[in-house]
Amino acid sequence: MTRVILTRHGETRWNLEGLVQGAMDSPLTEKGIRQAQVLANRLQDEGISVIYSSDLPRAIATADEIRKRLNLPEVFISAAMRELSFGDWEGRAWKDLRGAYPDLFKLWEESPHQVQIPGGESILQVTERAWSFFSSLPSKYPEQTICIVTHGMTLQLLVKKALGIAIDDWTNVPWQYNTAINILDLTTEGEVIPILIADHQHLDLE
């Protein structure tokens, strides 16, 4: 059995400003750094032996706070865990997109799996690349606990698939706050056993 702890990066400047990040990046705010440190404290007794991060700096910065707290030698990088590319939407305000793409944005809010963002990735593409990496972990790290720092949409899609929620069902998907914790046990046969989903109680301490 391999235990995987999935989490989201800390708050960024663009999170605060309501801008679309995607494959672009924005630095952690002071609050985001504190969130990462509180997260690291929360995870210190989980027996984590390996830390992975998306290749985007906001995730790496969050993962490094965990690495320092756990006194591990390095953070491994995986582009498969980066955020969905929002293409032409990146760097723009969510509120402005509602005016610029009213029909497409309405569909995005209700049924994002049906949307192909101009110049961006589809929900299916992100799910496939992230799940391929995630499902390979039991063979690489048997009987170990792995922490992965990723992003809001990528994290939601992984958890959806792990829980057996259909790609077109968005009614039962828990919101993943910054540094939310998800703990999943993976067997070598491909079974996924959810232990904890979208927990953010540690943020009360932040």
Per the annotation, the verdict on 83 as an active-site residue is yes
Instruction: Answer positive or negative: Cα dihedral of 105, 106, 110, 116.
Output: negative
Question: What is the rounded CA–CA span in Å between residue 184 and residue 182?
Answer: 7
Spans of the chain below 50 pLDDT: none
- Residue 19 backbone dihedrals phi, psi, to 5 degrees: -105, 150
pLDDT of the residue at 107: 82
Q: Which domains does the chain have, with CATH numbers?
A: 2-205 (3.40.50.1240)
The reported pLDDT for the residue numbered 117 is: 83
Q: Give the pLDDT of residue 34.
A: 96
Predicted confidence at residue 205, as pLDDT, reads 65
CA distances (Å), origin 191, targets 138, 148, 197:
10, 19, 16
Which one from 83, 90, 121, 200 is the annotated catalytic residue?
Answer: 83
What pLDDT is stored for residue 106 in this prediction? Answer: 80
Is 200 annotated in the active site? Answer: no
Of the residues 9, 11, 90, 200, which is catalytic? 9
20: exposed, middle or buried (C-beta count within 10 Å: 0-12, 13-18, 19+)?
Answer: buried
Residue 206: predicted pLDDT:
60
> Using alpha carbons only, how large is the chain's radius of gyration in Å?
16
What is the per-residue pLDDT for 48? Answer: 98
